[in-house]
Structure 1
Amino acid sequence: MTRTLARLSGNLRGVLWMTAAMASGVCVDVCAKLVAAEIPTAQILAMRAILTVVVFVVIVMCIGTRHVRTRRPMAHIARGVLWYGSLFCVFFALRQMSISEVNAYLFIEALLTVMLAVVFFGEKLTGRKIAATLLGLVGVWVMCVPKMNGFGVPLGIAAALVGAFCFSAQTLFAKIMVRTETNFSMLFWPQLIAVVIWLPVAIIMWKPAGFADWAFSGGAGFFAMSTNYMVLRAVRVADASVISPAAYTALPFSIAMDLIFFDMLPMPIVFVGAGLVVFAVTLLDFKGGVKPAIADADDAKSLTAKAPSAGDCTADARV
């Protein structure tokens, strides 16, 4: 199997890795949605973080601490807050909507990242970026209309959009931090920070959790780390502009999981709005993609700290 994959072109392998990552990312949503409804969202995050940290500590004991040493503790704290803030919003939204609906709203993340890069990194604001952003907002509005009460936006939709914004911000942090931080440290520290933040909150509202709830929370963590790994493999062997469209396979995977596990289907208008958002992202200029064929994780330090293009922003907010 490995030899067969090695014979494929780098771009094709990247597309396959990204497609697998999206399938894994949707499994995160399934696990989060299967946790008992009475378990608070903060408790789900705390449970997931505790289980993930235990696994990471075991790994660190085996490989040593050099992979988690950091020169930027404050950046890790900020990114951890944004990362798990995004997860809180997404998990909350999953309590209100189907997986496919939540993922459709999360597609706006790439456009938000581009606009944040303009504001914080001084990237040029082109007519194409403005048009893409406006079209993406129209797509979100189309999806929102059937659920709006006058001008009020339901909490689930608002949470999904705030989650997309938080993930966009942490993506920009990640693009800067890869210059000095290992990929392992960038996965490890947010989990530890999440325990510090969410465990005290969860204790206040803690509800009895059964074995299944812990198993699903652990499953969410496992699939999240798998998604991270596969996205990393994808961007190392293929151009970002090539693998970016594969990120939208999250929608059909989501629809399949909604049918299999929850007997749900999104409203048809969701496909129209999601299509507009996807088309908006394709309007963006995909220059400055990640260089392919980087040898190993520590070589990520050689990546440029340039703010990401839409094609770089294919990682899933759920991870």
Structure 2
Amino acid sequence: MTGTLLRLSGNLRGVLWMTAAMASGVFVDVCAKLVSHDVPTAQILAMRAVTTVVVFLVIVMFIGTRQIRTRRPYAHLARGVLWYGSLFFVFFALRQMSIAEVNAYLFIEALLTVMLAVVILGEKLTARKLIATVLGLVGVWVMCVPKMDGFGVPLGVAAALIGAFCFSAQTLYAKIMTRTETNFSMLFWPQIVAFVIWVPVAIIMWQPAALADWLYSASAGFFAMLTNYMVLRAVRVADASVISPAAYTALPFSVAMDLIFFDMLPVPVIFIGAAIVVLAVSLLDYKGGAKPVAIVPADGEGADDNDVEDEIEPAGKAAAEA
């Protein structure tokens, strides 16, 4: 099987890796949604942090502490807060809406990252970026219309959009940190930050959790790490512009999981709005524009600082969930 894969072109292998990553990422959402509604969202994050930290500490025992040494502890702290803050909002949204609906709203993450790069990193605001952002907002509005009560935005929709914003911010932090930090340190320290923050919060509102809830939380962590691994494999063997469309397979995978596990289907307008957002993100990649990919630090060495769009993956949640 391995020999067969190696005979494929790098781009084809990259597409297969990215598609598999999207399938794995949807299982993160499934596991989070299967946790009992009696368990608060903060507790789900704490349970996931506990199980994930245990795994990482075991790995550190074998590989040593060199890979987790850092020159930027405060940057790791800020990114950890944003990372798990985004997961809090996404998990909250999953309790209000279907997996497909949440993932459709999260497609706007790539556009938000580009706009934040303009504001924070001082990158040039081109006409293409502006048009793509406006078009993306139109797509979000189309998805919101069936759920709006007058001008009110439902909590689930608001949570999904805030989650997308937080993912965008942590993406920019990762962009900056790749110059000095290793892959493993950028995965390890956010888990420690999450443990320190969310465990005390969860203790205050702790509800009895069944063994199944612990297993679902642990499984969410497992699939998140698996997703991140496959995304890294994808972007290392293939051109970013080739694999980026594969990230949108998250939507059909989400629809399938909604049907299989929860007997749910999103309203048709969700697909229309999602298609508009995808079109908007595609504008950034048209004819040499930004190439949306995941953050891929290579042993602490970063990419060029001039084009943050090169560091954006269209379904950024999948990579960030690890």
Task: Give the shorter-chain TM-score range.
Answer: over 0.9
Contact 2:183 2:299 in 1 (8 A): no
The residue number in structure 1 matching 2:64 is 64
The residue number in structure 2 matching 1:170 is 170
Contact 2:281 2:314 in 1 (8 A): no
> Residues 104-119 of structure 1 correspond to what in structure 2 (within 5 A)?
104-119=104-119
SS at match of 1:265: coil
> Residues 1-319 of structure 1 correspond to what in structure 2 (within 5 A)?
1-285=1-285, 286-287=288-289, 289=291, 298-299=298-299, 301-309=301-309, 312-314=312-314, 316-317=316-317, 319=321
Contact 2:175 2:302 in 1 (8 A): no
Matches of 1:316 and 1:56, distance apart in 2: 22
User: What letter matches 2:134 in structure 1?
Assistant: L
Q: Deviations over 1:3-25 (max 9, x none)?
A: 21112111111111111111011
Matches of 2:33 and 2:273, distance apart in 1: 23
CA apart distance, 1:313: 2.1
Contact 2:132 2:280 in 1 (8 A): yes
User: What letter matches 2:205 in structure 1?
Assistant: M
Matches of 2:70 and 2:310, distance apart in 1: 28
Contact 2:109 2:316 in 1 (8 A): no
Matches of 1:279 and 1:289, distance apart in 2: 14
CA apart distance, 1:116: 0.7
CA apart distance, 1:303: 2.9
SS at match of 2:316: coil
SS at match of 1:317: helix
Q: Deviations over 1:271-295 (max 9, x none)?
A: 110010001111114546599xx9x
CA apart distance, 1:314: 3.5
User: What letter matches 1:257 in structure 2?
Assistant: M
Q: Deviations over 1:246-283 (max 9, x none)?
A: 11000000000000000000000101100100011111
Matches of 2:168 and 2:2, distance apart in 1: 33
Q: 1:188 to 1:106 in 2, by over 3 A?
A: same
SS at match of 1:301: coil
CA apart distance, 1:125: 1.0
Percent identity reads: 76
Matches of 1:162 and 1:249, distance apart in 2: 22
SS at match of 2:301: helix
| Unaligned ranges ≥5, structure 1 | none
SS at match of 1:38: coil
CA apart distance, 1:308: 2.5
Matches of 1:91 and 1:97, distance apart in 2: 10
Matches of 1:234 and 1:314, distance apart in 2: 14
Using structure 2 for the length normalisation, give the TM-score: 0.94
CA apart distance, 1:90: 0.2
Contact 1:244 1:312 in 2 (8 A): no
CA apart distance, 1:305: 3.7
Matches of 2:202 and 2:227, distance apart in 1: 26
| Unaligned ranges ≥5, structure 2 | none
Using structure 1 for the length normalisation, give the TM-score: 0.95
User: What letter matches 1:60 in structure 2?
Assistant: V
Contact 1:112 1:168 in 2 (8 A): yes
CA apart distance, 1:143: 0.5
Q: Deviations over 1:74-113 (max 9, x none)?
A: 0000000000010000000000000000000000001101
